Chains A and B, each alone.
Chain A
């Protein structure tokens, strides 16, 4: 599992994080699950109209989808940064955010990618949003 999530978080990593070893030992697994869970929840929220506009053709354009993807991925990556900080502190490691900034940026990117993938699965649950993103 560790290697699987490491593959995700280091997939684009040409420049290694300073905190690479500590992240591998203490963060990737919980962060991976949180990333998948949160992204799925954001996607579900969008496609189910936040459960308020479920049966309304509202907030259903490609622009809306894109804005929600950026916003939700930013929140996810912030959550993963907080998670990393907490995990590293708990393990007695001292790193600053700048030391694992690449991990945070990759979290954002993977947030967007998973959002895109989940969108294409979840979109069929709502007629008003089934043609989004395409």
Chain B
């Protein structure tokens, strides 16, 4: 295996609002497991004025953790964490505009203060004030901006319209390479995402001097996913977010998008996704309280990013800010059931994610259940003469602080999806009967009499595969060897034990 991703373009990934952050989180877990994306590096830019938003904070922590694990690895023999995820600031050459080394873009004027101060309400003439009062309620005008727009896209559109004047936008424009692509993730039924998405598209497609590379920006391959309602919020008189408005807002926004985005070919590809709003979360007006359980819709939304990067370059041409060809795509599952498992996914999804995801879950299963025992014994794969993996490896910064911490989040993500509605529980993560690892699927084998019985397998089979890989690997750093061993062993285990899933 060689690191072929270097030949691909960069992907600038704008994730707007809480949904954007949660989709990014799902994407990071897919990439950690080695799902292939045709991008040399991904530069996520989270746009959310609510800097203490629980979903955003959790996603940023996961991305930082991803980077710290990845830093110790090479990818000649290992595919876990192979995709490079970087901050926008890390691309910025010396002498460029200084921006914070963060995955979140700062929006001027939103850190403190209320909406009416932001628009200069106090200094307006009486006539203008009257106009503003027609458009915004008193509650809108006195809203704190640091908690986001609380389901009010008309406020968001005013505030986010100045993002194109920010240093982050300038750096983004200056670092946009010739073949690079841009993708935008947003929800249509909230405040920040619904407002930010069309503005961002407008600012990209209408780029002009003094912004760097205005022509390149105008004609950049641009894709987006807009997430329709897939959860609700519990009624709460003290909170301004009301789920009964979600559908109406979605309809209104879709009409607006038809006139300003999809209808005029502003985008090369636009993906739509949504679900029945079966589950209501406790309402939260931003800040750390806004931390929803992961949902399978976010995972499927992340697949749109992979799909967009798969589109051949010739089909993403633009002229003067208008796409020559626009695609509009939706996502579907094979069976409309409340409790999804891998058998309910379409073949394309299975092919794209099942093998790497299962590999990573298999690795985590081993690390959590039997790694300590295996290195204490030690198993033969841990007894390498040149790079032995001993129990002291389990207390290194790499394993204990970085990888284990990342795995906790990975497990949490799978657990949350499994308990959400609609639920997605692809794995029995902690099972020691490894043939039962994938929910709803048991590998079978033929008996001598022509019948079939479960093809059971356990850690002794797993260790054997690790032993096989140990022989094949050259000398390398212990962290790389550890990950390469598990990547290659789990790849073969999947191919030997689980390929019937594709039938």
Please determine whether A127 and B467 come into contact, CB atoms closer than 8 angstroms: yes
CB proximity of A54 to chain B, nearest CB, Å: 9
- At the interface, yes or no: A131 with Cβ under 8 Å from chain B? yes
Distance, CA A43 to CA B380, complexed state (A): 18
Distance, CA A111 to CA B253, complexed state (A): 84
- At the interface, yes or no: B247 with Cβ under 8 Å from chain A? no
| A128 in complex: contacting residue of B377, B459, B464, CB < 8 Å | B464
CB proximity of A15 to chain B, nearest CB, Å: 42
Question: With contacts A129-B380, A130-B380, A131-B380 known, is A57 near B471, CB below 8 A?
Answer: no
Contacts of B471 in A (CB 8 A): 127, 130
Instruction: Please tell me the number of chain A residues within 8 Å of chain B, measured between CB atoms.
Output: 13
Contacts of B464 in A (CB 8 A): 55-57, 127-128
Distance, CA A53 to CA B463, complexed state (A): 12
Contacts of A61 in B (CB 8 A): 377
Best-surrounded residue of A53, A57, A128, A132 (most CB of chain B within 10 A): A57
Please determine whether A127 and B460 come into contact, CB atoms closer than 8 angstroms: no
CB proximity of A96 to chain B, nearest CB, Å: 46
Please determine whether A56 and B380 come into contact, CB atoms closer than 8 angstroms: no
- At the interface, yes or no: A10 with Cβ under 8 Å from chain B? no
CB proximity of B171 to chain A, nearest CB, Å: 50
Distance, CA A132 to CA B380, complexed state (A): 9
Distance, CA A104 to CA B380, complexed state (A): 35
Question: With contacts A127-B464, A128-B463, A128-B464 known, is A57 near B379, CB below 8 A?
Answer: yes
- At the interface, yes or no: B461 with Cβ under 8 Å from chain A? yes
Type the 1/0 row for A44-65, where 1 means its CB is closer than 8 Å to any CB of B. 0000000001011110110000
Contacts of A58 in B (CB 8 A): 460
Number of A-B contacts (CB under 8 A): 38
Distance, CA A132 to CA B462, complexed state (A): 19
Question: With contacts A127-B468, A127-B470, A127-B471 known, is A57 near B463, CB below 8 A?
Answer: yes
Instruction: Please tell me the number of chain B residues within 8 Å of chain A, measured between CB atoms.
Output: 15
Distance, CA A128 to CA B471, complexed state (A): 10
Distance, CA A128 to CA B383, complexed state (A): 11
CB proximity of B459 to chain A, nearest CB, Å: 8
Please determine whether B380 and A60 come into contact, CB atoms closer than 8 angstroms: yes
Please determine whether A56 and B468 come into contact, CB atoms closer than 8 angstroms: no
Please determine whether B380 and A127 come into contact, CB atoms closer than 8 angstroms: yes
Distance, CA A132 to CA B383, complexed state (A): 11
Type the 1/0 row for B440-479, where 1 means its CB is closer than 8 Å to any CB of A. 0000000000000000000111111011101100000000
Distance, CA A55 to CA B489, complexed state (A): 13
Contacts of A131 in B (CB 8 A): 380, 383
Please determine whether B460 and A53 come into contact, CB atoms closer than 8 angstroms: yes
CB proximity of B294 to chain A, nearest CB, Å: 35
Q: Give the residue name and chain of the A residue nearest to B463 (CB).
A: A57
Distance, CA A131 to CA B467, complexed state (A): 10
Type the 1/0 row for B394-420, where 1 means its CB is closer than 8 Å to any CB of A. 000000000000000000000000000
CB proximity of A60 to chain B, nearest CB, Å: 7
Please determine whether A56 and B460 come into contact, CB atoms closer than 8 angstroms: yes
Distance, CA A57 to CA B464, complexed state (A): 5
Contacts of B466 in A (CB 8 A): 57
Distance, CA A61 to CA B374, complexed state (A): 12
Best-surrounded residue of A55, A61, A127 (most CB of chain B within 10 A): A127
Distance, CA A128 to CA B379, complexed state (A): 8
Contacts of A132 in B (CB 8 A): 380
Contacts of A60 in B (CB 8 A): 380
Q: Give the residue name and chain of the B residue nearest to A59 (CB).
A: B460
CB proximity of A63 to chain B, nearest CB, Å: 11
Contacts of B383 in A (CB 8 A): 131
Q: Give the residue name and chain of the B residue nearest to A55 (CB).
A: B464
Q: Give the residue name and chain of the B residue nearest to A54 (CB).
A: B464
Q: Give the residue name and chain of the A residue nearest to B457 (CB).
A: A56
Q: Give the residue name and chain of the A residue nearest to B377 (CB).
A: A61
CB proximity of A130 to chain B, nearest CB, Å: 7
Type the 1/0 row for B375-395, where 1 means its CB is closer than 8 Å to any CB of A. 001011001000000000000
Contacts of B463 in A (CB 8 A): 56-57, 128
CB proximity of B456 to chain A, nearest CB, Å: 12
CB proximity of A84 to chain B, nearest CB, Å: 39
Distance, CA A58 to CA B379, complexed state (A): 10
Contacts of A129 in B (CB 8 A): 380
Distance, CA A40 to CA B296, complexed state (A): 57
Q: Give the residue name and chain of the A residue nearest to B471 (CB).
A: A127
Distance, CA A61 to CA B460, complexed state (A): 13
CB proximity of A86 to chain B, nearest CB, Å: 38
Contacts of B462 in A (CB 8 A): 57
Distance, CA A130 to CA B461, complexed state (A): 16
Please determine whether B380 and A55 come into contact, CB atoms closer than 8 angstroms: no
Using CB atoms and an 8 Å cutoff, list the residues of chain B in contact with chain A.
Answer: 377, 379-380, 383, 459-464, 466-468, 470-471
Using CB atoms and an 8 Å cutoff, list the residues of chain A in contact with chain B.
Answer: 53, 55-58, 60-61, 127-132
Interface CB pairs A-B, < 8 A, 13: A53-B460, A55-B464, A56-B460, A56-B464, A57-B459, A57-B461, A57-B464, A58-B460, A61-B377, A127-B467, A128-B463, A129-B380, A131-B380
By Cβ-Cβ distance, the 5 closest A-B pairs, closest first, are A57-B463, A56-B460, A127-B467, A127-B468, A58-B460
12 new A-B contacts, CB < 8 A, other than A57-B463, A60-B380, A127-B471, are A53-B460, A56-B460, A56-B464, A57-B460, A57-B462, A57-B464, A58-B460, A127-B467, A127-B468, A128-B468, A130-B471, A131-B383
